[in-house]
């Protein structure tokens, strides 16, 4: 192995109860194992911090198994290959996928369940774009909106509207001609959603009068709901559904700071409205649709390049900040896609790390 002998990695020490606190994860420095045939060493450049990171720390029944205690925290990112004993990866390749919350990962060609994919060369956009507007975040929005099929005359609601997924979902629904109402936390975020992202309206979920304000923003009811939050807001929206409405469950961020018990909130009281309004509620997981990623990336790239999509990032420097960045995301303190910068690329020196 070349010069890399030490890796720094966040390992899960205990399952958080509620918000992540110091001690739930530990940043450890450990020796990096020498590469074997079929392996490549990848230096992490940027990490995506996302709501699902909190799910993976808990014991919820979810779309992927929880991270085991003692394991390196699961995380998506972009890295550069700095050493290789793999036929299909060469030094200097830029790769994306599950690199983990660590400085270096080993890309093993036997790890078939979540292989890292090699990005085009030369890299056509800043590194961070490949977990954001040109990565799984925006692809989730694209596929979700495509499933909802909004059209002129319909009203679409998007929760967590200023966040990574929601900001793109709302803009895509707007591009299809629908009226789009966002829900976000705080007046500044709501202004951003309307003024910068072009939504028709945005309701502040932190305003105690949010139920009445949401009703006022939905004079024609709800045809389509791109649901990122779940919880009481979704329950309220159920009472505003139009006949044959569709709810796309993309996420339920209200429930991710798992306390181990479901005591704080008792579920969807208005679930009968799915029946009464002959509505459809369905879930989506972006990695179930890998076959459609090239199409999604083509469309998103074109819309972004032509200025029809606005894409924002909140950038936090340093691997050390990963747990606090996640807490900040779940508390609603970030806007757009949350990125952690870990290292400057050495194999493509000077290439921008982030889009800002």
**Length of the chain measured in residues:** 356
Minimal distance, residue 230 CB to ligand NAP, in Å: 8
In the complex, what is the shortest distance from the CB of residue 103 to ligand NAP, in angstroms, rounded to a whole number? 22
Pairing type for strands 6-12 and 25-31 reads antiparallel
Q: Which is nearer to ligand NAP, 6 or 285 (CB)?
A: 285
How far apart are alpha carbons 62 and 203 in whole angstroms? Answer: 29
Cβ burial of 118 (10 Å; 0-12, 13-18, 19+) is middle
- Contacts with ligand NAP by CB under 6 A lie at 50-52, 137, 140, 159-160, 162-166, 184-185, 189, 205, 228-229, 231, 233, 250-251, 253-254, 284-286, 329-330, 332, 334, 338
- Which residues touch 51 (CB under 8 Å, ≥6 apart)? 163, 228, 251, 253, 256, 329, 330
- Which CB atom, from 36 or from 265, has the smaller least distance to ligand NAP? 265
First CA to last CA across the chain, in angstroms? 35
What's the closest the beta carbon of residue 39 comes to ligand NAP, in angstroms? Answer: 28
Q: Which residues pair with 40 in a beta bridge?
A: 84, 107
Residue 118 or 284: the one with the smaller Cβ distance to ligand NAP is 284
Q: To the nearest 10°, report the CA torsion of 113, 25, 140, 265.
A: 120
Burial class (CB in 10 A: 0-12, 13-18, 19+), 50: buried
The packing angle between helices 164-175 and 293-305, to 10°, is: 80
184 or 224: whose CB is closer to ligand NAP?
A: 184
- The CA distance from 56 to 54, in Å, is 5
How far apart CA 283 and CA 172 sit, in angstroms, is: 19
Q: Smaller CB distance to ligand NAP: residue 16 or 345?
A: 16
| Minimum gap (Å) between residue 275 Cβ and ligand NAP | 24
C-alpha–C-alpha distance, residues 161 and 165, integer Å: 8
**Minimum gap (Å) between residue 69 Cβ and ligand NAP:** 22
Cβ distance to ligand NAP smaller for residue 46 or 52:
52
Quote the least distance from Cβ 314 to ligand NAP, whole Å.
8
At closest approach, how far in Å is the CB of 46 from ligand NAP?
15
Pairing of strands 337-341, 39-48: antiparallel
Residue nearer to ligand NAP on the CB measure, 284 or 343: 284
Count the neighbouring beta carbons within 10 Å of the beta carbon of residue 298.
Answer: 10
Q: Which is nearer to ligand NAP, 159 or 355 (CB)?
A: 159
Q: Given the complex with ligand NAP, which of 233 and 342 has the nearer CB atom?
A: 233
Residue 275 contacts by C-beta under 8 Å, 6 or more apart in sequence? none
Shortest gap between Cβ of 248 and ligand NAP (angstroms)?
Answer: 9
Closest distance between ligand NAP and the C-beta of residue 4, in Å? 30
Chain center to CA of 82: 27
């Amino acid at each position: 192995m070349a010069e890399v002998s030490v890796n720094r990695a966040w390992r899960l020490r205990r399952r958080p109860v509620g918000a992540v606190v110091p001690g739930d994860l530990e940043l450890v420095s450990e020796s990096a194992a020498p590469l074997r045939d079929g392996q490549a060493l990848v230096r992490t450049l940027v990490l995506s911090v996302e709501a699902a990171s909190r799910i993976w720390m808990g014991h919820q029944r979810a779309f992927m198994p929880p991270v085991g205690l003692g394991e390196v925290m699961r995380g998506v990112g972009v890295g550069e290959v700095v050493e290789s004993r793999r036929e299909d990866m060469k030094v200097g390749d830029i790769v994306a996928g599950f690199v983990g919350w660590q400085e270096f990962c080993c890309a093993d060609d036997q790890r078939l369940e979540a292989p890292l994919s090699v990005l085009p060369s030369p890299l056509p956009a800043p590194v961070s774009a490949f977990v954001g507007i040109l990565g799984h975040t925006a692809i989730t929005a694209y596929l979700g909106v495509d499933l909802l099929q909004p059209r002129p005359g319909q009203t679409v609601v998007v929760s967590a509207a200023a966040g990574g997924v929601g900001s793109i979902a709302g803009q895509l629904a707007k591009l299809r001609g629908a009226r789009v109402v966002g829900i976000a936390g705080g007046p500044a975020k709501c202004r951003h959603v309307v003024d910068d992202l072009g939504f028709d309206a945005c309701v502040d979920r932190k305003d105690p009068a949010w139920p009445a304000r949401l009703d006022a923003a939905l004079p024609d009811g709800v045809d389509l709901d791109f649901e990122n939050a779940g919880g009481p807001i979704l329950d309220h929206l159920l009472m505003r559904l139009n006949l044959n409405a569709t709810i796309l469950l993309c996420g339920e961020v209200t429930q991710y700071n798992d306390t181990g018990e479901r005591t704080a909130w008792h579920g969807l009281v208005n679930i009968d409205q799915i029946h009464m309004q002959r509505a459809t509620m369905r879930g989506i997981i972006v990695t179930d649709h890998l076959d459609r990623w090239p199409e999604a990336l083509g469309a998103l790239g074109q819309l972004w390049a032509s200025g029809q999509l606005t894409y924002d990032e909140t950038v936090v420097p340093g691997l050390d900040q990963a747990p606090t960045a996640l807490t900040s995301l779940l508390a609603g303190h970030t806007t757009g896609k949350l990125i952690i910068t870990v290292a400057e690329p050495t194999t493509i020196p000077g290439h921008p790390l982030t889009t800002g």
